[in-house]
Copies of this chain bind each other. A is one copy, B any other.
Amino acid sequence: MAKSQYEYVRKFEQDDALLPLTWVVIRVDGRGFSGFVARHEYAKPVDTRGAAVMDAAAKAVMEDMGDLVLAYGHSDEFSFVLPPSSNVYKRRASKLVSTVVSLFTGAFIAAWPAAFGPDVPLMEMPVFDGRTVVLPTRAVLRDYLSWRQVDCHINNLFNTGFWALVGDGDDPAVANKLLCDANSAQKNEILFSRFGINYNNEPELNRKGSIWIRDLEVTDYVDARGHAGFRVSRKLVNVNTDLIGDAFWTSAYPHLLADVK
């Protein structure tokens, strides 16, 4: 096609390729989600229907972008991990973040009816923003994910206490003050002494958040000539477990951090 005299403006689009051979996290966060959650009357402290919609959205992103090795999320956020070897979209930050956010938004909307049922229609479109984080080593990547899971723990412990207190008739401002002044042990004690809640028995989804990984699946087979063999494939799996300790990375899923260089 003919080129116009205006083509030169292409050069004003800046190169935003992320450093090669690094781990890249693309994090999606809900924008103004407290309003969205209130309008759809989410259950407290964690709405399992809302969590299912977030999980479905994250799964759709993992299915679409085969290079992603892991997704971790809780509340209204999800972090997607791209390994150092990936060159998808030439590692361009704006392309990565916009594509992930668009996929996530669309899949969230598509997943809504199955999770919430016909009585709770989607009353407004959810909005997400995104960012990229570049992490040079496995150690820093693990620290990033630990940071998000610690955040999940802190928020969920607080929210579990807050909604128990408010549900019990406490004034929200008083409940907030009480919990802000309490350390973790004291928050646990409040839950146990007033409500008989052992926080460690709360659902793992609430306490650990949601992890999507591609697990290795070994399938045995016997071929036409009667010879036994096996195939290794990858399958998207959702788990709610600790990823701060070593067990997740070194025993359970050692292939996740294996990558070139």
Q: Is the CB of A93 within 8 A of B125?
A: no
Q: Is the CB of A147 within 8 A of B102?
A: no
What number of copies of this chain does the assembly contain?
A: 4
Return chain B residues, CB-CB under 8 Å to A127: 64, 99, 102-103, 106
Q: Is the CB of B12 within 8 A of A135?
A: yes
Return chain B residues, CB-CB under 8 Å to A155: 1
Q: Is the CB of A106 within 8 A of B94?
A: no
Q: Is the CB of B102 within 8 A of A31?
A: yes
Return chain B residues, CB-CB under 8 Å to A101: 98, 101-102, 105
Q: Is the CB of A147 within 8 A of B7?
A: yes
CA distance A84 to B137 in the complex (A): 11
Partner of A102, one of B8, B102, B140, B158: B102
A204 interface residue per 8 A CB criterion: no
CA distance A137 to B135 in the complex (A): 11
Residue of B nearest to A89 (CB): B129
User: Do A16 and B19 form a contact, CB below 8 Å, given A126-B106, A143-B9?
Assistant: no
CA distance A154 to B154 in the complex (A): 51
Q: Is the CB of A125 within 8 A of B106?
A: yes
How far in angstroms is the closest Cβ of chain B from A260?
A: 10
Return chain B residues, CB-CB under 8 Å to A17: 15
How many residues of A sit at the interface, in one of the four size bands?
35 or more
Query: A7-26 interface mask toward B, CB cutoff 8 Å, 1 = contact, 0 = none?
Result: 11101111111011110000
Interface centre among A28, A106, A137, A184 (most CB of B within 10 A): A106
User: Do A150 and B4 form a contact, CB below 8 Å, given A98-B98, A98-B130, A98-B131?
Assistant: yes
A146 interface residue per 8 A CB criterion: yes
Q: Is the CB of B98 within 8 A of A9?
A: no
A261 interface residue per 8 A CB criterion: yes
Q: Is the CB of A16 within 8 A of B93?
A: yes
Return chain B residues, CB-CB under 8 Å to A136: 19-22, 84, 136-137
Residue of B nearest to A15 (CB): B15
Return chain B residues, CB-CB under 8 Å to A143: 6, 8-9
Return chain B residues, CB-CB under 8 Å to A150: 4, 6
